[in-house]
Structure 1
């Protein structure tokens, strides 16, 4: 070919002279086509670019799937035990001592031995339909149960001696006006917080009740003594003064393990289940100590002149940090608004005419023990473990507000209705944040507070010292969930320069909006970046919807639930997926976005609700309660034998301990100081001579 070209007198082009244009090359004459005219050529380029980007995205996802398939898959355990008698389970609550599991079903509330999977007692009430259940310990083997039903009414129960007593219905009188959407008691059962919503005007308020725990414990002990002394029929005939029974009961029916029924007296046999409508006694009433609506939005100063604006700042209701104490008057704000609209005239036309607010307003709160933020009770050793304040933040707000629960309040009653009484509560302090708050968490002893923002920032506060311990940017997306891990799994910093205990370190499990998981060390001297233990989900099916942390037996293990219903156990320290938990192939999780599950018996049992798979969505699928025994999982064998020391979340030594430690250290080092003085004194004479010589010159 080259010889033919040279014979024609045409020199072949050199490689250096070739153009970089991909279209500048010799083509087959049959492939020559006329260039497309505009605008078709522009459309062709856009489509080609779009196809290339889509193909790159497809290739990237296929490569990720290939890498995922090449990984070693964790073992899959399908060893669930079905409990067919609990087909209408709606809520589960495990006791913190690991002994019992409380099951809320349609028309009943049951006590289950968490280790033996055996029903001990059933409290029947045809009007009871709880969908939320929370348990806390208020005494020795005495439990407080708080639940919400489908109508937004809050019920309070107590459990003692393997029996359930219905105590209070808090908002039954105003149930038609306000529906409770959230309830949370304090860890020791002294207080209860309720978030109530008015369906008519979407008004949301927070109510806090003080429970007379000491009086309740005494009344429960009297009931227990009476039940042990008398049989059930005798108890119905003669009731102790002050313990009034609401209805007369028939002899209880006990169902044996073989399905037979027998009629017995008040004492139940060991191998039987007691099922009664329950004894309803009168207990001491709870006190409403706080009712708080959402704080008012920022408004202009009402003063018409600078002097009048300064007088507005003298209002005692203004709280530092709330943003209401400013000198911006309405005329000044209007002028600034006009200047802004004029400066951004080309963009103002796209601004919404009406402000769009969140349709669902949420209120989140936590109870706190005494600290330097609100020091009331910090000087009383007996009150250090009792809640004295509550921290509140509202959705869409950037303020974390503290209210005191111990100060006397003023009650303002409206004319005609005492139910509309407002409790005049003034915030004690306000912590303004750099962005809108999206998540919060408190350590079990309420010593540490973690606040997550929509800009991906996590701030950890030392509540006892009232100072910021750490502020770290985790992600560019919002923080959706925060959980404190056990301090025993976190390496502790040993300050050898101090002879008394110093601040401890612990991990915080952070979940972001892209379903990624991070482990943040909130130690004061740890500057390491957060550890990523789960990357963002590739598709919607693998989005993490729920996380449950194991108790003290396996504190570094978490249970993850994905949107597609799959469940995994993961070690947060090594970021290794230990195993997959699967229900029988005929069942699936009832609600993967909010599963009904509970880890009980010190992390040895997992109770979870599953529904039968139904191809036709119109048919209502049957549900059952399944049990997994974690002791039988080989992947967890190494965790059960580990010994972990007990480490508190906060080590705050009082001043007496610190002074005594410093005195002991000084006495211990007295010999070393004497040796240094003996070496120093002979040198002082020589130094004095040198100084005198220098001055003489």
Structure 2
């Protein structure tokens, strides 16, 4: 090691950048880096050296990432090209799909159609001219009955009831005769089991959420009576479906026996009128914080609640003058940054948007809710608005009113450090996940009432969508039937096309990058989906129309779903595909790529392809492993289930017993510190 002698200057040198370092900091800096005597560069060469170092490090990271991709590709065999097992054509342009165990529901440019999943045969339709269905939701009610929710291109929302090959129109939610007074439906959700329906409506100046309670028991009785009448009609009348083309007037199924006309003429010349859904609540977007109008604190206290829950912060004592003073101080300090921000901001004010979910009972809700309803029935609704830090819960156990409360307050409020942008809930309602604007992702275990994990993606990733992977007990939707050792996995799609998998089991969690950011923009992932029957597979679709199945454990692409020539995946940037609730079939829409495509809406035909996932070797192997795994407790006898439950309880007890002494020692130290501070004072 060379020996450096520090030479003292004979005279005061001219000022340089070295003089910026204080005298007390110069000596430690010299001892830490003695080579700085030779390598110390003046400006601007020092800045150039830093930039070159940063560029070199970034280039090295890209090189390592590319090498890792090449090694991964060499380790895995090439994916299998999977051909469709069946196909059928529909008249019109297909805009949306929904599939259950036995049926495929297709939203077309000419209405709504229902097809059999096994045969591909058209069962019934609700057809009308100049009506294009753009959004479709379906919920299975059991006994071959389904409730459907649709939104057309004009923003009108409708409810349908499908039972035994009959598609009946129930109610138009926001349809009006004067189009200038219409309110557009932005989004809709149906609860599992079809007990509730939510519609997000948007007016000219505000946005609100309407929740309806669906009378599915009454619908079943009414359709059974109609089916009895249809069975007694001749074959000529049975072939004619209920559609707007042969409907002119209204008839009530509940009073059909009192009418003098024959049943056949009533069904073929009049519209069916079923029991309408009951409006349960109307949730409006939160008001922006403004100055207080209260004269004294006592008046604000009288307007507030009993103090048992966290509120939205509307009842406060901050006046307008306080806001103005704070804003003036802030603007004076950060004036140079505010000028640039105002230039980037849009002058148009955007209306509030919301994302909402239905929840079952759990310990995150008030005590006693689980005893009033059935296990599979939703008991609460969660709503979060954009630019809002609060996740609000509204209990559904309230009677319908003729006049809905215009200023409905949430029953439970979860404040967050940043605005909530995305959220997801498992079908069994056992886990809740939400992502904030700053990139923080939180997963809650609702059955025990504690957060399962809190994590953040690396810098540079902007979250586009989140969804849960299927749990091992996917066939049982009750929260009490989910295995306590279930491995919770969250699938995250980012705006750059990368796909991340966050896995949590117990107190440990890990983040895996399933799909890297592609070098070719055409290979960017546009949509992801899960297969209900597979806990370790993800469906991805890219901009070039490639639909593939990826194994989450090995990060390998298992197979590509190929449409026969000359068909290609329709609108690959926003693909139209669906997986049935059992995870047996992949339904994919394809468009014919030729020069003789008919543009007219009436003559346009869309082709629907069905891929039988059960014939794939990877799917068969995964299903066998899931059946043999210890997490699938539904096939085990009750004594073995009790043994596993007791073992898990003992393991948790040992972990808790190890943590108790540490927590107790921390409390003692904190108490001693407080006692010492009190004695000094």
TM surpasses 0.5? yes
C-alpha distance in structure 1 between counterparts of 2:152 and 2:110, whole Å: 11
Number of the residue aligned with 1:610 = 590
Distance in 1, Cα, partners of 2:252 & 2:321? 71
Deviates more, 1:220-229 or 1:67-76: 67-76
For residue 557 of structure 1, report the CA deviation from its aligned partner. 1.7
* 1:156 and 1:168 in contact (8 A); partners too: yes
Q: What is residue 190 of structure 1 aligned with on the other side?
A: 195
Q: Which residue among 428, 431, 447 is the counterpart of 2:430?
A: 447
What does 1:373-452 correspond to in 2, within 5 Å? Answer: 373-375=364-366, 378-380=369-371, 382-408=373-399, 423-452=406-435
Q: Given the superposition, is the C-alpha separation of residues 74 and 430 from structure 1 closer, same or farther in structure 2, using an over 3 Å criterion?
A: same
Q: Residue 142 of structure 1: CA displacement?
A: 1.2
1:541-690 to 2 correspondence within 5 Å?
Answer: 541-552=522-533, 554-600=534-580, 602-613=582-593, 623-644=606-627
Shift of 1:134: 1.5
Out of 469, 482, 505, the residue aligned to residue 466 of structure 2 is 482
2-structure distance, mates of 1:607, 1:550: 12
Deviation at 1:441, TM superposition (A): 0.5
Give 1:331's aligned residue: 321
Conservation of the 8 A alpha-carbon contact between 2:452 and 2:507: no
State the alpha-carbon separation in 1 of the partners of residues 175 and 215 from structure 2: 20
* Alpha-carbon offset, residue 393 of structure 1: 0.9
User: How many aligned residue pairs are there?
Assistant: 564
Q: How big is the shift at 1:94?
A: 0.7
Question: If you compute each CA radius of gyration, which structure gives the higher value, 1 or 2?
Answer: 1
Q: What's the offset of the Cα at 1:126? A: 3.5
Deviation at 1:501, TM superposition (A): 8.0
Contact 1:378 1:384 survives alignment (8 Å): no
| Structure 2 equivalent of residue 364 of structure 1 | 355
Does structure 2 retain, via aligned residues, the 8 Å contact 1:302–1:309?
no
Map Cα deviations across residues 49-80 of structure 1 (whole Å, 9 max, x no partner).
89x99996999599669778867532333447
The residue aligned with 2:215 is 212
Match of residue 95 from structure 2: 90
Q: Does 1:534 align with 2:515?
A: yes
Q: Deviations over 1:314-333 (max 9, x none)?
A: 31369724233444333233
Tell me how far 1:303 sits from its aligned partner.
4.7
Residue 340 of structure 1: which of 330, 339, 342 is its match? Answer: 330
Partner Cα distance (2:269, 2:554) in 1: 49
Aligned to 1:135: 138
Q: Retained in 1: the 8 A contact 2:84–2:609?
A: no
Aligned-residue RMSD, C-alpha: 4.5
What whole-Å deviation, never above 9, does each CA across 1:590-631 have from its counterpart, x for those lacking one? 222321112237333222112233679997886422222334
CA distance in 2, matches of 1:246, 1:363: 49
Post-superposition shift, 1:578? Answer: 0.4
Q: Helix, strand or coil for the counterpart of 1:192?
A: strand
Contact 2:253–2:273 (CA under 8 A) maintained in structure 1: no
Shift of the 527–144 alpha-carbon distance from structure 1 to 2, 3 Å rule, reads same
Give, in whole Å, the separation in 1 of the partners of 2:61 and 2:500.
27
Q: How does 1:104-503 map to 2 (within 5 A)?
A: 104-126=107-129, 128-173=131-176, 176=179, 177-198=182-203, 201-231=204-234, 242-243=255-256, 280-303=271-294, 308-309=296-297, 311-316=299-304, 320-352=310-342, 359=350, 361-375=352-366, 378-380=369-371, 382-408=373-399, 423-476=406-459, 477-488=461-472, 502=484
State whether residues 607 and 626 of structure 1, in contact with CA within 8 Å, keep that contact through their aligned partners in structure 2: yes
Deviations 1:137-159 (A, max 9, x none): 22322111211122222222222
Tell me the TM-score normalised to structure 2 length. 0.71
Whether contact under 8 Å (2:532, 2:581) holds in the other structure is no
Pairing 1:61-76 to 2, within 5 Å after superposition:
72-76=77-81
Q: Output the CA distance in 2 between the equivalents of 1:556 and 1:329.
A: 55
Unaligned runs of 5+ in 1: 1-19, 22-40, 252-265, 267-275, 413-420, 491-499, 651-656, 667-697
3-state SS, counterpart of residue 482 of structure 1: strand
CA change 1:617–1:540 in 2 (3 A) is: farther
In 2 relative to 1, CA 69–210 (structure 1 residues): closer, same or farther, beyond 3 Å?
A: closer
Distance 1:49 1:247 in 2: 89
